[in-house]
Amino acid sequence: AQTVTQSQPEMSVQEAETVTLSCTYDTSESNYYLFWYKQPPSRQMILVIRQEAYKQQNATENRFSVNFQKAAKSFSLKISDSQLGDTAMYFCAFMKPDYGGSQGNLIFGKGTKLSVKP
């Protein structure tokens, strides 16, 4: 069974600085997908960034980038130029592809609560 571990329950960062959230996972699959979701106080789940395991290039989305280390089973999220609106819970998630015509479900870590301070 796959597991996702986020070892940092809480983190804080000053506005405009850079912060890195850690995530490790365990799987015997060779092909899979990894995600970072953001959950602000509104509780809405928002996809931040995704990475396909067969792609060696790290994904980037504006101020968000990942450091994907497949051999180490590590998938960290870097937020550059942190903004107050980045304050939220961040969840790392794993998904195994389902080749039967649909797609697999998400397996989430416990989350990291990020506070951006002015």
Partner 1 sequence: DSGVTQTPKHLITATGQRVTLRCSPRSGDLSVYWYQQSLDQGLQFLIQYYNGEERAKGNILERFSAQQFPDLHSELNLSSLELGDSALYFCASSVASQGNLNEQFFGPGTRLTVL
Nearer Cβ to partner 1 (50/78): 50
55 or 117, CB closer to partner 1?
Answer: 55
Distance of CA 10 to the CA centre of its chain: 14
Residues that bind partner 1 (CB under 8 A): 33, 43-47, 50, 52, 91, 97-111
Question: Got the DSSP string for 40-107?
Answer: -TT---EEEEEEETT--SPPEETTEEEEEETTTTEEEEEE-S--GGG-EEEEEEEE---TTSS-PPEE
Of the two residues 67 and 97, which places its CB atom closer to partner 1 in the complex? 97
Closest distance of CB 113 from partner 1, Å = 13
CB 94 to partner 1: min, Å? 11
Beta bridge partners of 64: 61, 79
Q: How far is the CB of 53 from partner 1 (least distance, A)?
A: 10
Q: Which residue do the tokens 């951006």 mark?
A: 116
